[in-house]
């Protein structure tokens, strides 16, 4: 791809402002989740009106992007909305339509994980996350599209096909929470759940010009049947068009985990007020002193976004690499393959129905020894100790969210960056690994657009347990930029 320089935002706004037909879309769907929920609770708008507007927008825009899949019947959803209006207001998400990531089983909805193995699977009960959303008052309308088994930061699968980037349909939207990011960008939903092992909600948030938050590991419990002692890489988290809205969903998703009593007890984050950045000390890690390559324009554009933080009173220091990146990477790919292999080993008899990257992870897991896993865990522990020291001196650290601009939608994954060959299907997303490996809270913040018209983001992350602080700092950044509100995508 060619160099993507920062652009004149005043002239660029005319190119990307949302220009969908006024007859089918109204301003209701462009409001914040906080505003919608306040009006629903006060009965100023009805759940029926909101559901009707939601389904109308989905019908108008989703065919162009394929973000939402496995939708429930329109008549049934309208009936659920009427029932909400007829009953008492119950739960913080009362009456809000939400589509759930298609890695989560939802009772009565086809739940495929993007795999032909499960293309006709309709669960008889909700996974824990879906059940919590329902208990909070949300109406579950369908699924957001994912890559097969959530592997790879590019949303395509043999069941539903590809999800297009909302700013250019010829480009990827990232993944694995790609459908969620696109649905948010286009105002088809106000809140979305995602999951993040290797940037799976940060990457698509960056490429859809929205926010995605990976919480401290353990704040959002795994499903009761899943191991949470040995495998500590993946977590669910919220996505939205502002950190304040993210806080609303994070509080619903978070709860004390009786199966993990040593996990950090979740503290409420909503309502979220912006944290003054005056006097905050931030560390900019750039490309980790050459630890990973970046496509032309990514570094320069990310650094331009840091000026917003400086303008708000923060000190931003460029730091040298704090730890050997290859040790982080080797620890990561070992522990990741171990976790992915453990999760999918029961399906290995269906190998002919799995994509190459799934088989690669299974094969690596099958060759590992206990000592391989131990050595990887020891490297992880050393990086965690170094990070603890860093956060004694810095309120947060910052990295680019992606190493490349959104690439050709027909390309499975980037095979090289800036002349450097990628030796695995996921090496091109190495920049998210320092966060994921040790379970730190990290917020993707939209960072503008290149001259190619494509968005990118920076990820701000902090010490474990500082979720509220990172979100509040992000809200200060958001109120100085309003990227998702100023520059929603245009579909014609």
Q: C-alpha distances in angstroms, 180 versus 16, 91, 175, 200, 475?
A: 20, 22, 9, 11, 20
pLDDT of residue 7: 37
Task: Look at the chain and count its residues.
Answer: 492
**Which pLDDT belongs to residue 408?**
98
Residues acting as catalytic residues: 101, 176, 200
* Cα 232 to Cα 107, 249, 259, 267, 424, distances in angstroms: 27, 22, 14, 20, 22
For the chain, residues with pLDDT lower than 70 are 1-26, 261-262, 491-492
Q: What is the pLDDT of residue 211?
A: 98
Tell me the per-residue pLDDT of 324-368, one tens digit each, with 9 for 90 and over.
999 999 999 999 999 988 888 888 788 788 888 888 888 998 999
Domain ranges of the chain: 9-486
What is each CA distance from 8 to 165, 322, 366, in whole angstroms?
22, 35, 52
Residue 69's alpha-carbon distances to 180, 287, 336, in angstroms, are 11, 36, 28
CATH superfamily of 9-486: Amidase signature (AS) domain (3.90.1300.10)
Please state the φ and ψ torsions of residue 103, each to the nearest 5 degrees: -100, -5
Q: What is the pLDDT of residue 342?
A: 86
Hey, what are 304's tokens? 């331009």
């Amino acid at each position: 791809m060619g160099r993507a320089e920062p652009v004149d935002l005043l002239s660029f706004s005319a190119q990307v402002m949302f220009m969908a037909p006024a007859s089918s879309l109204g301003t209701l769907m462009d409001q914040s989740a906080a505003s919608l929920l306040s009006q629903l609770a006060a009965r100023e708008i009805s759940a029926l009106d909101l559901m009707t507007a939601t389904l109308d927008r989905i019908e108008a825009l989703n065919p162009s992007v394929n973000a939402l899949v496995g939708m429930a019947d329109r008549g049934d959803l309208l009936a659920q909305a009427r029932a909400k209006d007829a009953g008492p207001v119950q739960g913080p998400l009362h009456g809000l339509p939400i589509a759930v990531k298609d890695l989560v089983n939802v009772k009565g909805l086809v739940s495929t994980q993007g795999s032909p193995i499960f293309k006709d699977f309709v669960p008889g009960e909700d996974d824990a996350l879906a059940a919590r959303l329902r208990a909070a008052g949300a109406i579950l309308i369908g699924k957001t599209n994912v890559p097969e088994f959530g592997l790879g930061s590019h949303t395509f699968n043999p069941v539903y096909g590809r999800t297009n980037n909302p700013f250019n349909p010829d480009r990827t939207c990232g993944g694995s929470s790609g459908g969620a990011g696109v649905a948010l960008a286009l105002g088809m939903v106000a809140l979305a759940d995602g999951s993040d092992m290797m940037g799976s909600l940060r990457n698509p948030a960056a490429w859809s010009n929205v926010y995605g938050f990976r919480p401290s590991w353990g704040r959002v419990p795994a499903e009761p049947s899943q191991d949470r002692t040995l495998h500590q890489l993946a977590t669910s988290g919220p996505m939205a068009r502002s950190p304040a809205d993210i806080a609303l969903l994070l509080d619903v998703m978070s709860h004390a985990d009786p199966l993990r009593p040593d996990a950090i007890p979740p503290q409420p984050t909503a309502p979220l007020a912006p944290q003054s950045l005056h006097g905050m000390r931030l560390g900019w890690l750039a490309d980790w002193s050459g630890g990973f390559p970046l496509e032309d324009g990514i570094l320069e554009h990310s650094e331009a976004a840091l000026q917003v933080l400086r303008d708000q009173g923060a000190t931003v220091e460029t730091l040298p690499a704090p730890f050997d990146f290859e040790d982080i990477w080797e620890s990561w790919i070992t522990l990741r393959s171990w976790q992915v292999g453990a999760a999918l080993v029961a399906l290995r008899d269906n190998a002919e129905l799995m994509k190459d990257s799934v088989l690669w992870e299974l094969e690596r897991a099958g060759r590992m020894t206990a000592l391989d896993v131990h050595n990887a865990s020891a490297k992880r522990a050393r990086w965690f100790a170094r990070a603890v020291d860093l956060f004694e001196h810095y309120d947060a650290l910052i990295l680019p969210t992606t190493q490349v601009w959104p690439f050709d939608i027909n390309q499975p994954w980037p095979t090289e960056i800036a002349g450097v060959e990628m030796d695995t299907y996921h090496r091109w997303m190495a920049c998210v690994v320092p966060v994921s490996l040790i379970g730190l809270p990290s917020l993707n913040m939209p960072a503008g657009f290149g001259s190619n018209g494509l968005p990118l983001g920076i990820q701000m992350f902090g010490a474990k347990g500082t979720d509220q602080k990172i979100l509040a700092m992000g809200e200060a950044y958001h109120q100085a930029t309003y990227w998702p509100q100023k520059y929603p995508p245009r579909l014609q």
